[in-house]
Structure 1
């Protein structure tokens, strides 16, 4: 039978750009779930598949919505919104058959186990492509599916360490500092979405499905900006540079009367505009700092450029600086996450959305930065409880009758 997905249409509240695309999300914690969630936001039918005895560990991560003895993870809710919940125990032959029956009607499968795990379970890519040659099998792992390091376990910090990013972050003369968010997971999720949609386009043009292999380490290395070519061209190894750019100046954090602001006036055009705004027109033609290349020089910058900027900012508040220059040059107050969430501009872009969890309360979480004019993302949806939609998914997607579903439940397969 052809899937109808009446239940997901009701959850989504409309059709998105990926309407009609079915995703089996077998991933856990962050990289895979976030990739699948982006696809769900954009209209795909995403089915979250978990082991009933060993569900996604992020269900236990704080913070928690609570109502008496009932709790629900806000972390899990933010990365699994809009998904259907199904449980399958793949240690059973019957469980593996359930997955195969779902794969017949799926377009995409996303997993982030250690390489080789899906093969050990008997549901690796080669097996599943034999069932559905158009299946896109997206794998996210620490080191990728190939290479001598592929079987190594990995977390986000593994990628930050092995990809070189950790060594670049922090301040000179101090130990390197980890980037404060799980950038290895998050970047891998974004690259996985790009690769998956590219593979989907290939299928839509009449091609076959394929394996999409994204590694956290690779993703981090691809975020190191000029560090790779600095090394390969000049032999220069990137070092921590604090809040400053490696070579662009002025471009960094500057103190003001009530905090700090980010300011970037490094191009000749921006430098000229800044000097005019802050009443220092003579600095435009000063022969020591009248070109971008001269202002990049560390000695010149520290002696002439930075003191001038400090004199512009030191007696002004963040608000005064933004009102004076924020519409002309890149100048932005350094805000806390709370201030960013509460900023009216954040609401204007629908970047904080709210999902109603009934007695547990409402979960406010980040929205979807991809803005589509004709098929906007739907983000204000709840995440699934464990196995919440098992009956509906097996009936409408796999085509099972009520007796078959009940037998699978009684045997502990689903």
Structure 2
């Protein structure tokens, strides 16, 4: 464990990060935000594939990819080719000091490189290795390639998202990658707790497809109880009514009346006192069965005022509700800004980009203020100076032809 003096609950942990694109980098981003030191090992010449994914910012900003920057802040970069003996020697030195190794190659790749879990566990019993892949380290799909849209489709999420009787709709963020990355964080921290007890590392195996299935919650239960395959129903909740988006005079807002008491207060707020005693709406089960009729009544009333007026009225009565914000509105939201959700990360002199912090907040300690995302191989000299013995440093500071 290396103490770098950084703040955060994971300060002192050294994470060696072989990941690229999104699921793995999002995992290590959250670890970095919580105080861990993350050294990103990239392919010489091109680096992480995400460096070539837009949107792109104008020079002199480097890295130019805003996409790459948003998920790789607070990390260090060194370019190494693990098929080259010179670079493998450097990697082995770094590995000997690491607490956690994170990779998201196709299963079997690490073994071909000579870094299988079995080999590493013998060499370095306390090391934790996290493997994030499309389909996991075992099973008939394990060798197949995967992207977010593939696991959303295969994991059932795509079949549930969108409006009724409309084509399947992808979730608007890469939930396949993001969920796997977050489950990777959970698995790594569980392995760290276990290591504190046993002194031994664990292999954390997270599959994007598994993560999607873990998010199905209500759909899995409904299929088994009701015997019907769940289908898209728009913004509605399948088991709670009213719960969804409703049209007011000028725009739409969301209202969630999660139980009979809240429904009664909502009816008071909307001046619809007769609804709770109407047999069609007197219980949540009845409301779900008569959702179209209830929606018609509610929207007829909501059409009399703009959403800002309704939000004030509904919130006064303690009704869960909110506007449907676009991204611009989210970034301007007074509550989010008051809580410091957005972090200004400097990318070049006079230029910073707002990024969302990790939402995990712990008492008694300031959260880590991350450094800018690294340029490819930016930290090579400093990393080698720290981890490689002085008598060997001059050799390692001279890059192989792949670094040129």
| Alignment partner of 1:21 is 2:26 | no
Aligned pairs for 1:42-57 within 5 A: 42-57=34-49
- Equivalent residue, structure 2, for 1:306: 295
- Structure 1 residue ranges, 4+ long, deviating more than 6 angstroms after superposition: none
- The C-alpha deviation readout for 1:84-125, integer Å capped at 9, x for no partner, is 111111111232232222111111111111111111111222
Q: Give the match's secondary structure for 1:332.
A: strand
Do the aligned partners of 2:78 and 2:376 also contact (CA within 8 Å) in 1? yes
Cα distance in structure 1, aligned partners of 2:141 and 2:133: 11
**Among residues 348, 365, 369, which one is paired with 2:338 in the alignment?**
348
Cα displacement (A) at 1:400: 2.9
Cα distance in structure 1, aligned partners of 2:371 and 2:249: 42
Q: Where in structure 1 are there 5+ consecutive unaligned residues?
A: none
**Among residues 301, 308, 315, which one is paired with 1:326 in the alignment?**
315
| Alignment partner of 1:273 is 2:262 | no
TM-score with structure 2 setting the length: 0.94
| Alignment partner of 1:112 is 2:104 | yes
Aligned residues: 402
| Alignment partner of 1:100 is 2:92 | yes
Q: CA distance change for structure 1 residues 199 and 407 in 2, over 3 Å: closer, same or farther?
A: closer
- Equivalent residue, structure 1, for 2:182: 190
**Among residues 377, 386, 389, which one is paired with 1:400 in the alignment?**
389
Over the residues paired in the alignment, what is the CA RMSD in angstroms?
1.9
Cα distance in structure 2, aligned partners of 1:269 and 1:170: 29
Cα distance in structure 2, aligned partners of 1:162 and 1:24: 31
Cα distance in structure 2, aligned partners of 1:318 and 1:136: 51
Q: CA distance change for structure 1 residues 80 and 281 in 2, over 3 Å: closer, same or farther?
A: same
- The C-alpha deviation readout for 1:327-368, integer Å capped at 9, x for no partner, is 511110111111011111111122211111223711111122
Cα displacement (A) at 1:284: 2.2
- Equivalent residue, structure 2, for 1:257: 249
Q: CA distance change for structure 1 residues 378 and 23 in 2, over 3 Å: closer, same or farther?
A: same
Cα distance in structure 1, aligned partners of 2:186 and 2:167: 34
**Among residues 140, 164, 167, which one is paired with 1:172 in the alignment?**
164
Cα distance in structure 2, aligned partners of 1:315 and 1:271: 20
Aligned pairs for 1:360-375 within 5 A: 361-375=351-365
TM-score with structure 1 setting the length: 0.92
Do the aligned partners of 2:161 and 2:171 also contact (CA within 8 Å) in 1? yes
Cα distance in structure 2, aligned partners of 1:384 and 1:287: 62
Cα displacement (A) at 1:184: 0.2
- Equivalent residue, structure 1, for 2:326: 336
